[in-house]
Amino acid sequence: GQQLNQSPQSMFIQEGEDVSMNCTSSSIFNTWLWYKQDPGEGPVLLIALYKAGELTSNGRLTAQFGITRKDSFLNISASIPSDVGIYFCAGKFTSGTYKYIFGTGTRLKVLA
């Protein structure tokens, strides 16, 4: 099945640094979602994006729906140790379908 390409696959950063990750697809999506998964837990929705160019923030997190509709970006500002986890993007092709495609994840580790 199709998957989204997320990069980087993993990253180690120092506490206080900003983080950027992205998700790309060969297909056009009409919805992008960003999830965070803590160790031993299920993913939790962080941000939902619904139209090209949309920029949405949730605290220190900011996500953007790429204007080509084939990519999305997530930025975390001033990282803290509790930001550690795996970040997943998910995209949906068209309205009225279940079909969310999930990315392979970006594993973030924050060094205090």
Partner 1 sequence: NAGVTQTPKFQVLKTGQSMTLQCAQDMNHNSMYWYRQDPGMGLRLIYYSASEGTTDKGEVPNGYNVSRLNKREFSLRLESAAPSQTSVYFCASSEEFTSAGYTFGSGTRLTVV
**Which residues here bind partner 1, judged by CB under 8 A?**
1, 3-4, 31, 33, 40-45, 48, 50, 88, 90, 95-96, 98-105
Residue closer to partner 1 by CB (options 58, 111) is 58
Residue closer to partner 1 by CB (options 25, 79) is 25
Q: How far is the CB of 15 from partner 1 (least distance, A)?
A: 27
In degrees, rounded to 5, the angle at the alpha carbon of residue 72 between the alpha carbons of residues 93 and 80 is: 135
Residue closer to partner 1 by CB (options 19, 23) is 23
Q: How far is the CB of 102 from partner 1 (least distance, A)?
A: 3
Buried b / exposed e over 70-107, threshold 16 CB at 10 Å, is bbbbbbbeebeeebbbbbbbbbbeeeeeeeebbbebbb
Q: How far is the CB of 57 from partner 1 (least distance, A)?
A: 16
Residue closer to partner 1 by CB (options 32, 73) is 32
